[in-house]
């Protein structure tokens, strides 16, 4: 532990900092000589989510899933032959009870409240992990956040069990965000301290062999924290420390690392593609961070400087960010360069941004007539929003209620329907209470948060 205290505030001395910074490329720019440039389009692993309630432009589905599957990758660099279980890092500083805040259900409607699960002291941790998976599967994210903290501070948690600790910590922070407790998550993320310190890097000797040379020892290093947790911590720590610039710096640090991994000699194609996807994702996240800082001019310049390659998914996210900034012209320009995007949601969203709601209604209806009908609930909701803006309250209400009847209950849907109830009925509170009861009785698959706040129903 003493060694950790000595090293944790030092910058990494591994190869990630040995490459001089180029004056012509930013860390989030694409690598021009990337051999994947002629392959199939890449897609980001974790699309950005917008906070907009009226159009849900930032998400491609009405659900808000918690993707923990990516944490099954124990090592985020190229050294898959190594195991985190072989490291001797002491993570006891993440297991202190005072880090984790007590959670309350006072802001949850009574019908949605469930008792917090407290495992017996003699209960094996495998049983508790099974209960945690059950909460995630059902959408009880607040209960999952509570149990994650209980397990992290349990006496049975081994300080060297990196995989379990980081998985539980990611679950805790992500579930807090999904339940509207971002401020608590931001404070708790500070316990990770500097994720770029040498403490989090493990140097490893790997055997490297050429075609006609004997095997030699080669010094390398990898980061022991899973990539999804590192990306999540960048934003949360910038909030927790009250320094938005820290978030931008953190994304650029990750971008430098991703570029170095992409250019690592001997890196195979599949691993290079993973790092390329991560670099694309970081570029869009940096623009989103500038938007959250309300620096729209810088966000627009950064968005225009990004290279999108052939990825329609990245182009879509970039266009959605342009609409969020208010740069409809940039969104239209991105849209014009992709035939696939012109057949999707961007066209009606651009019409909505221009205030042409009648045109948007026709375009949303045309998407509903598509035999594939991808993201149908989101399309129906946006159609209802356009109908609301054009004064067609009854039809808008009917459409949103049809989504509820079809077992959909994502947050913006219930909020918008509650708004319509307020506009068209003197008994709106009774209708909103009935809406909450209906949502509670639905079958839940864990894709939406079941521990709903009263604000979701405007109660």
Tell me the residue ranges of DSSP E strands in 336-445: none
Model confidence, pTM:
0.75
| Cβ count within 10 A of residue 397 | 21
| Domain-embedded: residue 236 | yes
| Domain-embedded: residue 415 | no
The number of distinct structural domains making up the chain is 1
| Domain-embedded: residue 318 | yes
Mean predicted confidence (pLDDT) in 64-77: 36
| Domain-embedded: residue 314 | yes
Best CA proximity match to 261, nearest among 31, 80, 75, 77 = 77
| pLDDT tens-digit map of 4-60 | 444 444 433 333 333 333 333 444 554 443 323 333 332 323 333 333 343 333 332
- Residue 307: domain span: 2-324
| pLDDT tens-digit map of 288-310 | 898 888 888 888 788 778 766 66
Residue 73 in this model has a pLDDT that exceeds 70: no
| Domain-embedded: residue 68 | yes
Q: What is the mean pLDDT of the chain?
A: 78
CB 151, CB 168: distance < 8 Å: yes
| Domain-embedded: residue 108 | yes
Mean predicted confidence (pLDDT) in 328-342: 83
Residue 413 in this model has a pLDDT that exceeds 90: yes
Could you tell me how many helices (H) and strands (E) the chain has, helices first?
A: 18, 2
d(CA 228, CA 222): 15
Q: What distance, in Å, lies between the first and last C-alpha atoms of the chain?
A: 49
Lowest mean pLDDT of 145-159, 168-182, 327-341, name the range.
Answer: 327-341
| Domain-embedded: residue 420 | no
Lowest mean pLDDT of 29-33, 364-368, 377-381, name the range.
Answer: 29-33
> What is the SS3 assignment for 164?
helix
Question: Which helix (H) or strand (E) covers residue 219, if one does?
Answer: strand 216-223
């Amino acid at each position: 532990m003493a060694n950790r205290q000595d090293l944790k505030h030092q910058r990494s001395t591994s190869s990630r900092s040995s490459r001089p910074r180029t004056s012509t490329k930013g860390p989030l720019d694409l690598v021009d000589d990337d051999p994947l440039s002629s392959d199939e389009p890449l897609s980001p692993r974790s699309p950005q989510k917008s906070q907009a309630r009226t159009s849900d432009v930032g998400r491609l589905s009405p659900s808000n899933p918690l993707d923990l599957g990516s944490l099954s990758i124990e090592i985020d660099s190229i050294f898959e032959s190594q195991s985190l279980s072989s490291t001797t890092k002491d993570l006891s500083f993440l297991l202190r009870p005072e880090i984790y805040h007590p959670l309350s259900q006072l802001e949850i409607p009574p019908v949605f409240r469930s008792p917090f699960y407290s495992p017996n002291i003699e209960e094996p941790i495998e049983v508790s992990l099974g209960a945690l998976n059950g909460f995630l599967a059902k959408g009880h994210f607040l209960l999952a956040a509570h149990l994650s903290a209980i397990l992290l501070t349990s006496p049975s948690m081994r300080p060297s069990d990196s995989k379990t600790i980081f998985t539980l910590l990611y679950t805790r922070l992500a579930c807090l965000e999904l339940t509207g407790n971002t401020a608590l998550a931001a404070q708790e993320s500070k316990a990770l301290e500097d994720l770029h310190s040498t403490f989090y890097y493990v140097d490893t000797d790997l055997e490297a062999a050429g075609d006609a040379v004997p095997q030699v020892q080669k010094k390398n290093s990898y980061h022991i924290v899973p990539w999804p947790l590192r990306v999540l911590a960048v934003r949360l720590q910038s909030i927790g420390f009250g320094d938005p610039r820290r978030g931008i710096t953190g994304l650029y640090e990750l971008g430098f690392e991703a570029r170095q991994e992409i250019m690592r000699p001997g890196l195979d194609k599949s691993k290079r593609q993973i790092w390329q996807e991560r670099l694309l994702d970081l570029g869009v996240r940096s623009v989103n961070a500038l938007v959250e800082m309300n620096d729209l001019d810088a966000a627009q310049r950064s968005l225009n400087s990004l290279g999108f390659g052939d990825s329609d998914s990245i182009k879509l996210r970039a266009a959605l960010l342009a609409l969020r900034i208010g740069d409809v012209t940039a969104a239209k320009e991105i849209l014009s360069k992709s035939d696939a995007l012109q057949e999707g949601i961007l066209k009606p969203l651009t019409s909505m941004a221009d205030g042409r709601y009648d045109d948007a209604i026709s375009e949303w209806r045309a998407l509903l007539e598509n035999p594939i009908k991808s993201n149908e609930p989101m399309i129906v909701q946006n159609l209802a929003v356009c109908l609301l803006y054009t004064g067609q309250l009854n039809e808008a209400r009917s459409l949103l209620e049809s989504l509820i009847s079809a077992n959909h209950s994502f947050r913006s849907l219930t909020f918008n329907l509650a708004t319509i109830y307020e506009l068209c009925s003197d008994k709106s509170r009774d209708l909103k209470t009935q809406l909450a009861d209906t949502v509670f009785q639905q079958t839940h698959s864990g894709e939406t948060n079941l521990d709903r706040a009263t604000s979701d129903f405007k109660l």
